[in-house]
Chain A
Amino acid sequence: MARDPQAALVALNRFGFGARGGASGDFLNAASDPRGFVKTELGRPNGALLEVPGLQSTPALGKAVFDYQFEIQQARDAAARSAAPSATGEGASPRPAAKGQRRNLSLNGIAMEMAPKEPQAKPAENPGTMTPAEAMQPNAQKLPPQPLNIIQKTFRAEALARLQRAVITDCGFVERLVLFWSNHFCISANKGGPARMWAGSFEREAIRPHVLGRFGDMLKAVEQHPAMLFFLDNQQSLGPDSRAGKNRNRGLNENLAREILELHTLGVGGGYSQDDVTALANIITGWTYAGRLGQLGAPGSFVFNANAHQPGAQRVMGKIYDAETVAQGEAVLADLARHPSTGKFIAIKFARHFVSDDPPPALVARLADVFTKTNGDLKALALALVDSDEAWKTPLTKIRSPYEFLIAAGRLLAQIPNNPSLYLGGLKTLGQPLWSPAGPNGFPDSNAAWLAPEGMKLRLDIATQIASKLAESVDPRDLLELAAADTASAETRRTVERAESRQQALALLLMSPEFQRR
């Protein structure tokens, strides 16, 4: 049995989410057949799908969020109406009350209003004396606990399912691919209620089925997903000459079209012009989702609204598209997926993510070639990477992103999360809030971004916090063995062994180059 610890480290960390603790034997398995260890996951049919009981489809979630928002709106209107009669003119006294009322008209405030009132006073409450617990926590706010709304509940359930998968999965290469593509085609949950509601289902429905499939299929699924349409405003975009556009005196929104060209396919410098952006924006007018009342279709499902669609042929990248239906846009997407600029753009991004910030040009060229020749076969692309020498010989110089870091820690510590809070909080602190990048270009993917002074300090603090929670039940010396085995440097080994406590040893292990680099 061949044994190659250095290659095992590459298999586990460059391609995967790091070795799992417990009795997984990940390091040994990876060392005995590094490439096989990585490739096994690619051979599992539907291995990228995430089907967890309780997670709902986008239309079902859409209906729920529309209904929720509608109720909120109604309650808000009702509150405004009931406040109005009491306002006896412009006198000073009613104003603060109205103001206070408005402040309470937040989603949760209203959700609270609607919720059955809980008995307010707890028994045996003595207002005269401070309880020990209160005394201890002078800064504690005495907020009554508010029930989570449907959006928050959904987001947390989706997050938990994804985190659990990442922590338990064997090598993690497929999950890393999901992460890559999900970030490539990112939406942000911060856009609003529907985006937060759909952040998980978007990934489950538009990304995962195609991670080992075709780029063109993923592209189409993404651009027609309600989450993306909402995120980049396409549901508001009306063809200026469409019936809806004329009736409502509103028009085009180029947001989605631009990002399709700039971020999703050709890339900046990929050869498109403003005219191409405008033409594509016209072409995808009418790409929207059905609303609460379901006039266009099942609420929360993708629909082509011919009434909003800009009539007529359009020219994109020199080619005329004259279909009058959704097929017009689908044809453009299919051509964009095949465009050489797309292959190059994807290849360099892919190599940069997995191999190094400055990937070997030969590798990038080969990946682009595979992408183009296989017509965007993403499994072939992944295999080409695993089969390349460069992926195994290039030193592990990239620092783990916060997500990769926290997941790797969870795996090593064998902590299958039953609550996403720890991860959501950690990700936010470290600047990579789940499904919420600052812009449509996604989270950065370079050492420059994650290996920043402030980030490193925060990372150390987070490692310390994790260690303070979990170190008692583990032996950091064993964990170092599981994570890095023979590849652990003498210095790291010594640093862990000589730590003054398990907590300190674990924090140092989590911060060691062996654990931080991939």
Chain B
Amino acid sequence: METTMGCCEEIRSLSTSRRAVLLGGASFAAWAYLPKFARAADGRDPRLVVVILRGALDGLATVAPTGDPDYAGLHGSIALSSSGPNAALPLDNFFSLHPAMPEFSRMYREKKAAVIHAVATPYRDRSHFDGQDVLESGFAGPGRVQSGWLNRALEGLPKGERVTSALAVGPTTPLVLRGAAPTVGWAPLVLPQASEDTAMRLLELYQHRDAALGSALKQGLALDKAAQGDDMKPKTGAGGVAAMRLAARGAARLMAADNGPRIGALAFDGWDTHANEGGPVGRLAQLLGGLDGALAEFETGLGERWRDTVIVVATEFGRTARVNGTQGTDHGTGTVALLAGGAVNGGRVIADWPGLKPASLYQGRDLAPTTDLRAAMKGVLKDQFGLAERVLAESVFPDSAAVKPMQGLDDGNRNLLRNLIHLRQFLRIQHPADRPHVLLDLFDAGGAGDDAGDLRAGGQPGEGEFEHGVAARLRERLEFFDDVLIACRDVAILQHRRLGEAGIGRGITAAFVFAGEKAARQREERQ
């Protein structure tokens, strides 16, 4: 126990000093321990990945209710259709998937992916910051919270063996995974540039307030674009679509290791599609393509472990059902959450569909939320890791006793909803006045649930190798970075070329360079 404490201390102090180092791309953070929850009984060794989409995903564009008679009219020019060129990919006779997501579509057909629709956190206002706080903190309302629900869930698990120590650095640990349970971060070697969206917002501000700054920035962006060739795709988020794949690839390899972390979180930016959101192709399509690629990277990279994996993709809130005046959508409420992974009891859209009639829309503008996202998260945590309902209701998602874990999300749980179910149809019959989180209890078929007795004792072959072989060397590298990290343009260009060869690089003129330390060192030394 004392050793454990010592390790925690070490992790914290290290991560603090690492904060001084800049590098970027999408971030990934994971738990530093190998939990002792691998289940001897069924031989499962579960993995959980939480992907946060920052900016509010348009759920109606991602999984379009093409069977809803009001959808096409509301979503207007960017609405997806179930036939014709660039047709959406049918999920069932009501919902269709955005055509930029063929991998998710395949997983869905293989029953390894599911959609939860008309879902939302308990947050009902429309601020990104507050919405993300609620999504990630797990609290019922906004407020300054220093820990996330996933971290508090970890605290509820037996620690097991420590698998990594200060593995690597990342820009930040997403709030969802921040807290007392020690975590480690990693970020791909993609050197982050400002996204096009950020640049456009800034240009607009400059246009109103500071023409000289605007003109300089505009030229700078144009130069940058010219230098990179004009066939480039629009950049998104920190590092763009390629960064999503890259982050996922790295995270998957880490988590695939026998003694790699079992639980991780990623955050992708760029989903705030107020203007020119695009339909089957366009800005959102690019982003969804990146997300789709990231899911595929997890499937490939996790190898055998994919079988025991659940990936949850969630966003702070949805977007308006009606397209706005700039071919985009504004901040809304209900949206989708996606589940993917071999452990998902998939091939279904789980939705208590509220409909898109004007009267059904939340405040006359948004898809009404009918499912509490916490119910889904609870269901996953319960199924994957056997967290007790009491823990889920008190510490993981405080004050959420009324929100029951969704049942049967987990394929290992022998409990079903195997076929497409529009919950409302059931619920209407059984308990029309209520909301699904209460009634979902009806489906509880007694899974592994709260039973801690089936937790396998720790100690797997090969443990410790990672710690000694890799982590230690990485730590050395990191200390080295701390000491000689130097950003310089000439090295950055070299790096750019390398990344370019690897098919991921563009826009890496301003760079904090890691792989270039040799050149940087020579530079220092020349003095």
Chain A residues within 8 Å of B, Cβ to Cβ: 106-108, 122-126, 131-141, 143-146, 148-149, 151-152, 156, 189-193, 195-196, 399, 415, 417-419, 421-422, 424-426, 428-429, 447, 451-458, 460-466, 468-472, 475-477, 489, 491-492, 495, 497-505, 507-508, 511-513, 516-517
Contact B525 A107 (CB under 8 A): yes
Contact B469 A500 (CB under 8 A): no
Contact A140 B55 (CB under 8 A): no
**Residues of chain A with a CB closer than 8 A to B314's CB:** none
A461 to B240, CA, bound (A): 13
Contact A133 B254 (CB under 8 A): yes
A275 to B188, CA, bound (A): 60
- Nearest B residue to A133 via CB reads B470
A149 to B21, CA, bound (A): 21
**Residues of chain B with a CB closer than 8 A to A461's CB:** 192-194, 509-510
**Residues of chain B with a CB closer than 8 A to A151's CB:** 527
- With A135-B253, A462-B510 given, is the CB distance from A508 to B202 under 8 Å? yes
- Nearest B residue to A136 via CB reads B250
Contact B193 A491 (CB under 8 A): no
Q: Which residue of B22, B204, B476, B488 contacts A145 across the interface (Cβ within 8 Å)?
A: B476
Q: Which residue of A124, A136, A428, A489 contacts B487 across the interface (Cβ within 8 Å)?
A: A428
**Residues of chain A with a CB closer than 8 A to B373's CB:** none
A153 to B44, CA, bound (A): 50
- With A132-B256, A464-B238 given, is the CB distance from A499 to B128 under 8 Å? yes
Contact B24 A468 (CB under 8 A): yes
A192 to B524, CA, bound (A): 10
CB of B454 within 8 Å of the partner chain: no
A123 to B193, CA, bound (A): 38
Residue of A457, A503, A517 contacting most chain B CB atoms (<10 Å): A457
Q: How far is the CB of B188 from chain A (nearest CB, A)?
A: 7
CB of B249 within 8 Å of the partner chain: yes
Contact A429 B487 (CB under 8 A): yes
Q: How far is the CB of A378 from chain B (nearest CB, A)?
A: 31
Contact B269 A421 (CB under 8 A): no
**Residues of chain B with a CB closer than 8 A to A470's CB:** 19, 172
Q: Which of B462-496 touch A at CB < 8 Å? A: 464-466, 468-474, 476-477, 479-489, 492, 495
Contact B495 A139 (CB under 8 A): yes
**Residues of chain A with a CB closer than 8 A to B260's CB:** 132
Bitwise interface map of B from 497 to 509 toward A, beta carbon under 8 Å scored 1, else 0: 0110010000001
The 26 sampled A-B contact pairs (Cβ below 8 Å) are: A132-B253, A132-B260, A133-B168, A138-B502, A139-B502, A140-B477, A140-B514, A140-B515, A143-B518, A145-B483, A190-B527, A192-B527, A399-B213, A421-B485, A456-B213, A456-B216, A458-B220, A460-B194, A461-B510, A464-B198, A465-B22, A465-B23, A472-B174, A500-B56, A513-B209, A516-B210
**Residues of chain A with a CB closer than 8 A to B204's CB:** 495
A189 to B525, CA, bound (A): 11
**Residues of chain A with a CB closer than 8 A to B254's CB:** 132-133, 136
CB of B132 within 8 Å of the partner chain: yes
Known contacts A465-B22, A495-B204; can you find 13 more A-B pairs with CB under 8 A?
A122-B469, A126-B469, A132-B260, A135-B253, A136-B249, A189-B527, A196-B527, A451-B212, A457-B510, A461-B510, A464-B194, A500-B197, A500-B272
Q: How far is the CB of B490 from chain A (nearest CB, A)?
A: 10
- Nearest A residue to B513 via CB reads A425
A466 to B194, CA, bound (A): 11
**Residues of chain A with a CB closer than 8 A to B495's CB:** 139
Contact A468 B54 (CB under 8 A): no
Contact B205 A469 (CB under 8 A): no
Residue of B22, B202, B464 contacting most chain A CB atoms (<10 Å): B22
Q: How far is the CB of A418 from chain B (nearest CB, A)?
A: 6
Q: How far is the CB of A158 from chain B (nearest CB, A)?
A: 14
A115 to B77, CA, bound (A): 68
Contact B522 A106 (CB under 8 A): yes
Contact A468 B206 (CB under 8 A): no
A242 to B515, CA, bound (A): 52
A454 to B483, CA, bound (A): 28
A134 to B186, CA, bound (A): 12
Q: How far is the CB of B493 from chain A (nearest CB, A)?
A: 12
**Residues of chain A with a CB closer than 8 A to B256's CB:** 132
Contact A465 B24 (CB under 8 A): yes
A422 to B253, CA, bound (A): 29
Contact B521 A502 (CB under 8 A): no
Contact A468 B270 (CB under 8 A): no
CB of B155 within 8 Å of the partner chain: no
CB of B223 within 8 Å of the partner chain: yes
- With A140-B515, A195-B527, A457-B220 given, is the CB distance from A466 to B22 under 8 Å? yes
A143 to B472, CA, bound (A): 14
Contact B220 A453 (CB under 8 A): yes
**Residues of chain B with a CB closer than 8 A to A452's CB:** 216, 220
A140 to B217, CA, bound (A): 32
CB of B87 within 8 Å of the partner chain: no
- With A136-B254, A428-B488, A457-B221 given, is the CB distance from A469 to B171 under 8 Å? yes
Q: Which residue of B194, B482, B488 contacts A421 across the interface (Cβ within 8 Å)?
A: B482
**Residues of chain B with a CB closer than 8 A to A511's CB:** 202
Contact B238 A139 (CB under 8 A): no
Contact B486 A453 (CB under 8 A): no
Contact A429 B220 (CB under 8 A): no
- Nearest A residue to B219 via CB reads A453
**Residues of chain A with a CB closer than 8 A to B213's CB:** 399, 451, 456, 513, 516
Q: How far is the CB of A116 from chain B (nearest CB, A)?
A: 16
Q: Sorted from nearest, which 5 A-B pairs have the closest CB atoms?
A: A500-B272, A457-B220, A500-B55, A453-B219, A453-B220
- With A193-B527, A425-B512, A516-B213 given, is the CB distance from A145 to B485 under 8 Å? no
- Nearest A residue to B251 via CB reads A136
**Residues of chain A with a CB closer than 8 A to B189's CB:** 137, 139-140
**Residues of chain A with a CB closer than 8 A to B518's CB:** 141, 143
CB of B201 within 8 Å of the partner chain: yes
A462 to B220, CA, bound (A): 14
**Residues of chain A with a CB closer than 8 A to B271's CB:** 500
- Nearest B residue to A149 via CB reads B525
Contact B192 A468 (CB under 8 A): yes
A343 to B272, CA, bound (A): 56
**Residues of chain B with a CB closer than 8 A to A429's CB:** 487-489, 492, 510-512
- Nearest B residue to A495 via CB reads B205
CB of B257 within 8 Å of the partner chain: yes
- Nearest B residue to A477 via CB reads B129
- With A132-B256, A429-B489, A503-B269 given, is the CB distance from A141 to B473 under 8 Å? no
Contact B129 A502 (CB under 8 A): yes
**Residues of chain B with a CB closer than 8 A to A428's CB:** 486-488
Contact A146 B55 (CB under 8 A): no
**Residues of chain B with a CB closer than 8 A to A126's CB:** 465, 469
Contact B473 A132 (CB under 8 A): no
- Nearest A residue to B516 via CB reads A141
Contact B527 A418 (CB under 8 A): no
**Residues of chain A with a CB closer than 8 A to B3's CB:** none
CB of B450 within 8 Å of the partner chain: no
A447 to B215, CA, bound (A): 13
CB of B433 within 8 Å of the partner chain: no
CB of B517 within 8 Å of the partner chain: yes
- Nearest B residue to A135 via CB reads B253
Q: How far is the CB of A199 from chain B (nearest CB, A)?
A: 10
- Nearest B residue to A196 via CB reads B527
- With A193-B527, A454-B220 given, is the CB distance from A508 to B201 under 8 Å? yes
A107 to B524, CA, bound (A): 10
- With A140-B515, A468-B24 given, is the CB distance from A505 to B220 under 8 Å? no
- With A491-B208, A504-B197 given, is the CB distance from A136 to B253 under 8 Å? yes
Contact A501 B205 (CB under 8 A): no
**Residues of chain B with a CB closer than 8 A to A455's CB:** 216, 220
Contact A131 B194 (CB under 8 A): no
- Nearest B residue to A139 via CB reads B515
Q: How far is the CB of B386 from chain A (nearest CB, A)?
A: 26
Residue of A133, A145, A471, A507 contacting most chain B CB atoms (<10 Å): A133
A511 to B178, CA, bound (A): 28
